[in-house]
Amino acid sequence: MRNYLVAGNWKMHGSTAANAELLDGVIAGMPQSAAVSLLVCPPFPYLGTVADKLSGTGIALGAQNVSQHESGAYTGETAPSMLKDVGCEYVIVGHSERRHGMGESSEMVAAKFRAAQEAGLIPILCIGETQAEREANATEAVVDEQLNAVLDDSGIEAFRMAVIAYEPVWAIGTGLTATPEQAQDVHRHIRDLLASKDGDVADGVKILYGGSVKGDNAAGLFGKPDIDGGLIGGASLKSADFLAIAEAAASLD
């Protein structure tokens, strides 16, 4: 049976009260299906309280970013071991809002990926092209460069305990979604690149799609053979919207 991962990236949204209301709704309505796993990634200040709330629910906790350093004079940064300490299982690395908005290079993302794994976290490696890159037919070159930076640094075996999220930048928060066929093509390309190094690792790795996934387009995307779930931004902020996506995954079981 396939296991879909539906992951909510709350970005810089929420408050103690709003998070509690959101999670109450998600916990009450989550599909009771072994075919779907849920994960939420709140902002840093809420990780501890969200961890308490999720205890015993089966919903996993992740962070949205991590330092590549383990400790030291890095004001404002958060070490991988600290995320682990407060209950995170996952951490997003290389989200386009950090690559493009905060100047994170592929090398820095690769270092974060490695540091996260060394601390026992499962990195969710985000890769994807901008609109201009797609129009220049550079989609595959861009995802290859972003993926190869991590492969060069951590090796193919590292992908036994990692998740990839293909997120075309032009589809994030814009309401534009890649068609299931466009997404599948890139997911297949990513899996083929991994398979050229190790077929077993390539078969096992989850490749999520991210970019304006909603309840009404999730089943079409997740129904494709190389799409193993979604990284969800805007639609993870309301329980009904997030649950509609989780239900779409469960319906494909």
Name the site residues for ligand PEP (rule: CB under 6 A): 9, 11, 167, 172-173, 210-213, 231-235
231: nearest Cα among 153, 177, 150: 177
Minimum CB distance to ligand PEP smaller for 123 or for 233: 233
Give least dist CB 129 to ligand PEP, A. Answer: 14
Minimum CB distance to ligand PEP smaller for 79 or for 104: 104
Minimum CB distance to ligand PEP smaller for 198 or for 220: 220
Q: Is 227 helix (H, G, I), strand (E, B) or coil?
A: coil
Minimum CB distance to ligand PEP smaller for 167 or for 226: 167
CA torsion through residues 227, 6, 115, 130, sign: positive
DSSP state of 170: G
Give least dist CB 68 to ligand PEP, A. Answer: 20
Instruction: Mention every residue, 6+ apart, whose C-beta is less than 8 A from residue 35.
Output: 1, 2, 3, 4, 249, 250, 252, 253
At 248, phi and psi to the nearest 5? Answer: -60, -40
Mind giving me the DSSP string for 143-160?
HHHHHHHHHHHH-GGGGG
Minimum CB distance to ligand PEP smaller for 165 or for 201: 165
Q: Tokens standing for 132?
A: 């201009």
Instruction: Please report how the helices 47-54 and 16-29 are oriented relative to each other, as an axis angle in degrees rounded to 10.
Output: 30
**Beta carbons of 4 and 219 less than 8 angstroms apart:** no
Give least dist CB 168 to ligand PEP, A. Answer: 9
Give least dist CB 212 to ligand PEP, A. Answer: 4
Give least dist CB 172 to ligand PEP, A. Answer: 4
Active site residues: 95, 167
User: Which contiguous run of DSSP H or E holds residue 166?
Assistant: strand 163-166
CB-based closest residue to ligand PEP:
233
